[in-house]
Structures are given as C-alpha cells and as structure tokens.
C-alpha cells in the first residue's frame, strides 16, 4: 500500500565558500515521522547537502518532529556525477528514498524523490526512482490525462535528471499499489496536478545561510512534571543534534535526600548521610524524590544554580509550581540571553490585587522575552513511563525568529533581521517590551522547532496560537478537580462529578470571555487536550482530585494532606482557587462563578460538600 509519493526538485544557490543558500517549502504531511533512518550500505556516499536538504524539506516542512539523521557521511569526490540515494525507514514501517544528483564540478542542484510505503511488504526499490520523470510529466498533465498502464520497463535504470530549476516542484499522491504501475492512476494524476499547481507558488528563496548554532534548552524546575518534561526534551535534543545542543540543564531546587538501604542507589560509603538531590540525579540518572523509578537520559544535567542553568540558553522551559515563578524570574532576569524564548508548562495564574495574568504573560513581561504555554491532559508519571498522551502548545512565533521562507504566521512586525520586534501580548495588545529576534545563525524558532523539541512517539503535540485558552484551561481545571474530589470523597459518584465538570467548564469559558475577551478562542476548550481532555483526566486521576477526595474521606484539611501525603509535591488547586476567587471578589463578580466560589468556601471550611447542590442552584 503506497501512502504517499513526494518528489521535489531543488536548486540550491551557493555562496563563495560553496555553502548552499536555500530554503524549501511544502505542504504538511503528518504521515512522515522518521525516527530510525539509516543509509543504504551501497550508497554511503550521499552528500552532506543531500542530508541537509532532506532535513529541511522533510523534517521541517513536513512537520516530522521525530526525524533524525545519521552523522553526515563524507562528501563524494567532487568529480562524482553519480546520483546518490538515501534510504530511511520510518517508525511506522514506511520507507523513504531520497534521490539526489549533482553536476560534475560545481553542483547546481539536487533532485529529490521520496517514496513512502506503509507496508514492509513493499521493499524499497531503486526502480521507483526512475519514475521521477514520468511522474513529473504527470504532474504537468491535465487532470483528465489517462495514466500509463504499467510502470516502464526501463524503471530499473535511473533516468537522467532534468535540469534543476529554482522552483521546488512537488507532487504528492496516494494510491493502492502493489506494483509501481498503479502510481499512475487517473486519481493520482489529478492529485499530482493539484499538488503541482499549489507548489508552483513555492518559490525558493536564498534568504539565509544554514544555521551554524544550535539551541540550548534548559528546564527550570524538577518536580514530578518538570523532570518528566526534561526527560522527553532530552530524548529529543539527542535525536536532533542539528537543532539542539545535546545536554539539557535542569534547575533543581536543591534539597538533601536520604536514600533508604533498599534503594538500588544506596551507597554504603555514604551511609545514611543525606545527599544532595542534584548529586543523586547526576550520578544515578533518577530523580529519586519527585519521579522515582524512572531512568533519565544521561544528557540531563541537574544544576542547583539558576544563573548557571540559564546561561546561554535560547529556550527556557518553565516547569515548577506557579507560586514560585515570581522569585525565579527575579533571579534569572539578568542572566538570560536577550533573545531567549520561553515555554511555560506551569498550570496557574498570577493575581495581584484586582489584576490577573497568565503565567506565560507574566514571564514575558518580567523577563522581556516571548513565552508560550504548554498544557494538556498530562499525568507526569504516565508520560514518564511512556504511556501515550496528547498535549497542546500555544505559541505565536515572534516576527524575526523565522529565518527561512517558511509558512509560519509571525506575531508582530520586524523592520529587519536584527531589529527589535514588537509582538502581541496575550490580550492582543502591542507589547510594551520589544523583542530581540533570535539570531539568524540559529535554526528558526517556530512551531516546527517546538514540535521537534516536545513531540515524542508517546507525546503527541498539537500546536495552536490561543495562549489564553491553553493557559486558562490548565489553571482553572484545578479548581474543578478539587470540587470533583470533594463530591467523590463525600460518597457521590460519576453523575455528581459530571455535573461539577459541566458547570466547571462553563465557568472556565465565561472567565476567559470576561477577562481575556480580545483573544480567547472557545474552541480550544472543546477541541484541545488543554481543554476538555485536561478536565477529564484531572477530575478522575490527577493529584488535585485524588487528595481532595482523601481530605474529605479523612475529615482533614487539604493543606494538611498536602503536608503529610505529597512528599514535597504541590497541589496547584489550593492556591489557584484562593487567587482566582480573591480576584473575582475584588472585581465584584463572584456571583457569576458559583462553582469556583463554593470550592473556595469548602477550603475555608465555611460550607460543607453536601451544601454544593443548593449553593449551585442559587
């Protein structure tokens, strides 16, 4: 079964040093996830530039975040006119062939051809490469053109390559094909024509040099979720050595931990002496306190110093309980790169008097950098065990951070590569701060790059631009999760919890509409993992639900449970409820949010769980 056929003709331009200047565009193809490519042993002489183009074309343009490449093989002798073939095998069992050819002395261009097969039964065949010319012809043919009845017999000999042009041509096709003959069905030709006419718009531009620097990624925070996110990004920095520095510094709020004798990491020479958590993580590659029994990649480096962690980092991932973010920002402000960018995985909000801010908004403003948000139905320990889940990342790529002709929609405007750029804040206003663009010798810092950084086979990332919906979804669902725990602890079951969830969702959306009316996108709550997905998981299996249920069952306060049961972990629902309800009172609109307010009153002990139905009825 052939799933797709992609072919491209690309003519890179060269500067005086022979470095190619190019960029490629194409249409998204979520089918392409290449994780274990390898060179065909017969064809080890594939050119470095072939691989680089391969990466740009397939990896970035095709949203293939798990694409990784082998180290570049040595370039072929300059006189070699031979076409080269790179073969890769995708994680889904697909095969990909990339075919390139260069002219004799000074290469003028490459032709690429990728055949994707979803079944291992179809072995990759070099014969397919010869369909390049006929298929390109098919792409030019009228939609009604009838297809050749079978693949040309000459298919086993590669055909001469057409003259390269500066236009990237692309034909994509989908056909059931146990033989290459069926690549030429009328349907396929029609599709090819459509794809080709789309691709006619895709001009190559020679607007930038190839990136020579890599992004340094750091994680600020090392709790249950902080360590899990550090694990998954460290796996990705290893898989994308062309985009990221391999090591991921993880800032750890230093504390001493005593390893029990039964621990596999127990060191008799240290005895029962408490040891620094950073030292244990770096030696044993396990966060024994916040993510026990999960082996961490050795390229995570636990660091107790905040300034040292963020030094030279271009991507800062914030992942710690929201009550600590103010202090963290104050400590790192003078130590970060001016063009650093942030992603906040924190679920919470910042409230001061009658003002409310999203955490990513707070980070952006206090550090003068752009910061997006990651949130979703994500239970850290499940993800650390590589059980599959989804998440949502909201990011509005600042103008000036995209360095090749890409299709990213930029946020704000820039008057030049190095000029400071304006951007739109979470409320759609032009920011007071101006941004320093990410320098052009880094890979573009956009949705494609963030996919490469966060997506794992067990962690599916959806990229959106609704920072408000994603952030509020993550913060406010914790209030609803407490309510669900309370009713369940009281002995009520799914029907009561469903009523709480339904009302909770309506209050969350109303809150977004009331306080972020300029930018809120309601569909985020309905469609994204950061919306209903997170609500369901949080009200059925996360910590805020679990421990609020326990508090009611035991008849003790939730704060007491947090102290005695959570071993240093935090319940974000407690502080979020207090902050949000304080804010609603300050605004005089508490009557519009009866569920949120009843949770606050249960936390205070002024009403009981059995009062909930009556209080919501009013």
Ligand X SMILES: O=C(CO)COP(=O)(O)O
Cβ neighbours for 412, distance < 8 A, ≥ 6 positions apart: 398, 399, 421, 422, 423, 424, 430, 431, 435
> Is residue 591 within 8 Å of residue 565, measured between CB atoms?
no
> Is residue 240 within 8 Å of residue 214, measured between CB atoms?
no
By CB under 6 A, the count of residues binding ligand NAI is 24
Cα dihedral 354→360→363→366 (10° resolution): -50
State which of residues 60, 319, 396, 538 lies at the interface with ligand X (CB under 6 A): 538
Please tell me the distance from the alpha carbon of residue 40 to that of residue 489, in angstroms, as a whole number.
Answer: 60
Is 64 a binding residue for ligand NAI by CB under 6 A? The answer is: no
Is 572 a binding residue for ligand NAI by CB under 6 A? The answer is: yes
Burial of residue 192, with CB atoms counted within 10 A of its CB: 0-12 exposed, 13-18 middle, 19 or more buried: buried
Is 570 a binding residue for ligand NAI by CB under 6 A? The answer is: yes
Give the DSSP per-residue string, 130-186. GGHHHHHHHHHS-TTPPPPSS--GGGGSPPPPPPP-SB---EEEEE--SSGGGGG-H
Print the SS3 string covering 270-330: CCCCCEEHHHHHHHHCCECCCECCCCCCCCEEEECCHHHHHCCCCEEEECCCHHHHHHHHH
253 binds, among ligand NAI, ligand X, none (CB under 5 to 8 A by kind): ligand NAI
Q: What is the distance, to the nearest Å, from the Cα of residue 361 to the centroid of all Cα atoms in its chain?
A: 19
Nearest CA among 1, 91, 75 for reference residue 38: 91
| Stretch 556-575 residues interacting with ligand X (CB under 6 A) | 572
Q: Shortest gap between Cβ of 347 and ligand X (angstroms)? A: 5
State which of residues 49, 378, 471, 577 lies at the interface with ligand NAI (CB under 6 A): 378
Q: Shortest gap between Cβ of 183 and ligand NAI (angstroms)? A: 45
366 binds, among ligand NAI, ligand X, none (CB under 5 to 8 A by kind): none
Nearest CA among 542, 557, 535, 543 for reference residue 602: 557
Tell me the longest C-alpha to C-alpha distance in the chain. 85
Q: What are phi and psi of 394, to 5 degrees?
A: -105, 120
Nearest CA among 404, 219, 408, 250 for reference residue 315: 219
Burial of residue 490, with CB atoms counted within 10 A of its CB: 0-12 exposed, 13-18 middle, 19 or more buried: middle
Nearest CA among 404, 389, 438 for reference residue 418: 438
State which of residues 117, 216, 322, 448 lies at the interface with ligand NAI (CB under 6 A): 322
Q: Shortest gap between Cβ of 252 and ligand NAI (angstroms)? A: 7
- Joined together, the tokens standing for residue 56 give 């740009």
Q: Shortest gap between Cβ of 531 and ligand NAI (angstroms)? A: 14
Instruction: List, in sequence order, the alpha helices (H) in 437-591.
Output: 447-454, 467-490, 494-515, 523-527, 534-540, 543-554, 558-565, 572-587
> Is residue 219 within 8 Å of residue 250, measured between CB atoms?
yes
- Joined together, the tokens standing for residue 603 give 């936390």
Whole-Å CA distances, 114 to 46, 171, 218 = 15, 10, 35
Binding pattern for the stretch 455-484 against ligand X, x by CB under 6 A and - elsewhere: --------------------------x---
Of 56 and 374, which has the nearer Cβ to ligand X?
374
Q: Shortest gap between Cβ of 399 and ligand NAI (angstroms)? A: 30
Please tell me the distance from the alpha carbon of residue 268 to that of residue 264, in angstroms, as a whole number.
Answer: 11
Of 421 and 478, which has the nearer Cβ to ligand X?
478
Is 488 a binding residue for ligand X by CB under 6 A? The answer is: no
- Joined together, the tokens standing for residue 313 give 């980092």
Q: Shortest gap between Cβ of 389 and ligand X (angstroms)? A: 9
Q: Choose the catalytic residue: 424, 477, 549, 570.
A: 477
168 binds, among ligand X, ligand NAI, none (CB under 5 to 8 A by kind): none
State which of residues 99, 216, 347, 455 lies at the interface with ligand X (CB under 6 A): 347
Of 129 and 508, which has the nearer Cβ to ligand NAI?
508
State which of residues 239, 466, 534, 600 lies at the interface with ligand X (CB under 6 A): 534
Is 324 a binding residue for ligand NAI by CB under 6 A? The answer is: yes
Q: Is 409 helix (H, G, I), strand (E, B) or coil?
A: coil
537 binds, among ligand X, ligand NAI, none (CB under 5 to 8 A by kind): ligand X
Binding pattern for the stretch 334-363 against ligand NAI, x by CB under 6 A and - elsewhere: -----------xxxx---------------
- How many degrees, rounded to 5, is the angle at CA 376 between CA 349 and CA 323? 25
Binding pattern for the stretch 233-272 against ligand NAI, x by CB under 6 A and - elsewhere: --------------------x-------------------
Q: Shortest gap between Cβ of 316 and ligand NAI (angstroms)? A: 15
Q: Does the active-site annotation cover 477?
A: yes
Binding window for ligand X (CB under 6 A); candidates: 429-437, 450-458, 533-541, 598-606: 533-541
Of 117 and 570, which has the nearer Cβ to ligand NAI?
570
Of 237 and 576, which has the nearer Cβ to ligand X?
576
Q: Shortest gap between Cβ of 326 and ligand NAI (angstroms)? A: 10
Of 240 and 289, which has the nearer Cβ to ligand NAI?
289
> Is residue 562 within 8 Å of residue 574, measured between CB atoms?
yes
| Stretch 205-234 residues interacting with ligand NAI (CB under 6 A) | 221-226
Q: Which residues pair with 411 in a beta bridge?
A: 398
600 binds, among ligand X, ligand NAI, none (CB under 5 to 8 A by kind): none
Binding pattern for the stretch 367-406 against ligand X, x by CB under 6 A and - elsewhere: ----------xxx---------------------------
Of 50 and 378, which has the nearer Cβ to ligand X?
378
Of 87 and 572, which has the nearer Cβ to ligand X?
572
Nearest CA among 141, 148, 157, 158 for reference residue 182: 148
Is 318 a binding residue for ligand NAI by CB under 6 A? The answer is: no
Q: Shortest gap between Cβ of 572 and ligand NAI (angstroms)? A: 4
Q: Shortest gap between Cβ of 309 and ligand X (angstroms)? A: 23
Relative orientation angle of helices 186-199 and 132-140, to the nearest 10 degrees: 80
Residues that bind ligand X (CB under 6 A): 347, 377-379, 481, 534, 537-538, 542-544, 572
Q: Which residues bind ligand NAI (CB under 6 A)?
A: 221-226, 253, 290, 319-322, 324, 345-348, 378-380, 568-570, 572
Catalytic residues: 477
């Amino acid at each position: 079964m052939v799933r797709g056929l992609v072919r491209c003709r690309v003519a890179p331009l060269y500067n005086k040093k022979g470095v190619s200047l190019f960029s490629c565009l194409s249409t998204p193809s979520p089918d392409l996830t290449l994780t274990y490519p390898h060179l065909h042993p017969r064809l080890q002489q594939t050119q470095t530039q072939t691989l680089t183009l391969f990466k740009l074309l397939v990896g970035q343009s095709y949203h293939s975040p798990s694409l990784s490449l082998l180290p570049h093989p040595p370039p072929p002798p300059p006189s070699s006119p031979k076409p080269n073939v790179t073969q890769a095998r995708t994680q889904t069992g697909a095969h990909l062939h990339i075919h390139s050819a260069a002219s004799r002395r000074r290469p003028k261009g490459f032709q690429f051809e990728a055949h994707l097969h979803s079944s291992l039964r179809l072995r990759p065949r070099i014969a397919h490469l010869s369909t390049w010319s006929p298929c390109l012809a098919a792409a030019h043919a009228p939609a009604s053109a009838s297809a050749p009845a079978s693949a040309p017999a000459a298919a086993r000999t590669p055909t001469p390559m057409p003259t390269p042009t500066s236009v990237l041509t692309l034909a994509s096709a989908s056909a059931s094909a146990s033989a290459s003959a069926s690549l030429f069905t009328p349907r396929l030709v029609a599709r090819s024509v459509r794809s080709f006419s789309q691709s006619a718009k895709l001009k190559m531009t020679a607007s930038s040099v190839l990136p020579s620097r890599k992004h340094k990624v750091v994680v600020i925070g090392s709790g249950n979720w902080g360590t899990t996110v550090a694990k998954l990004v460290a796996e990705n920095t290893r898989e994308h050595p062309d985009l990221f520095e391999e090591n991921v510094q993880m800032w750890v709020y230093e504390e001493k931990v005593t390893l029990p004798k039964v621990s596999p990491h127990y060191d008799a020479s240290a005895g029962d002496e408490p040891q620094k958590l950073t030292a244990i993580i770096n030696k044993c590659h396990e966060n024994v306190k916040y993510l026990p029994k999960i082996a961490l990649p050795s390229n995570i480096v636990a660091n107790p110093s905040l300034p040292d962690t963020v030094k030279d980092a271009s991507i800062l991932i914030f992942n710690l309980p929201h009550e600590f973010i103010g202090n963290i920002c104050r400590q790192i402000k003078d130590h970060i790169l001016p063009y650093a960018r942030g992603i906040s995985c924190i679920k919470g909000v910042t409230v001061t008097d009658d003002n409310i801010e999203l955490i990513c908004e707070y980070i952006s403003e206090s550090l003068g950098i752009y910061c997006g948000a990651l949130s979703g139905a994500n239970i850290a320990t499940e993800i650390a065990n590589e059980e599959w889940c989804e998440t949502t990342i909201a990011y509005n790529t600042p103008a000036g951070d995209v360095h090749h002709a890409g299709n990213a929609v930029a946020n704000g405007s820039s008057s030049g590569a190095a000029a400071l750029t304006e951007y739109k804040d979470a409320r759609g206003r032009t920011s007071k701060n101006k941004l320093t663009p990410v320098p052009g010798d880094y890979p573009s810092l956009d949705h494609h790059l963030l996919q490469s950084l966060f997506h794992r086979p067990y962690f599916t990332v959806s990229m959106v631009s609704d920072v408000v919906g994603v952030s509020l979804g993550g913060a406010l669902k914790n209030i609803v999760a407490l309510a669900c725990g309370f009713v369940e602890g009281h002995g009520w079951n799914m029907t009561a919890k469903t009523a709480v969830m339904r009302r909770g969702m309506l209050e969350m959306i109303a809150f977004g509409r009331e306080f972020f009316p300029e930018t809120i996108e309601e569909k985020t709550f309905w469609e994204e993992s950061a919306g209903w997905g997170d609500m369901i998981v949080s009200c059925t299996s996360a910590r805020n639900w679990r421990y609020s249920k326990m508090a009611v069952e035991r008849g003790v306060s939730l704060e007491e449970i947090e102290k005695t049961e959570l071993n240093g972990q935090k319940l974000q629902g407690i502080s979020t409820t207090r902050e949000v309800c304080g804010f609603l009172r300050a605004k005089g609109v508490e009557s519009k949010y009866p569920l949120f307010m009843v949770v606050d009153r249960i936390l205070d002990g002024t009403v009981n769980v059995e009062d909930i139905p009556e209080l919501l009825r009013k």
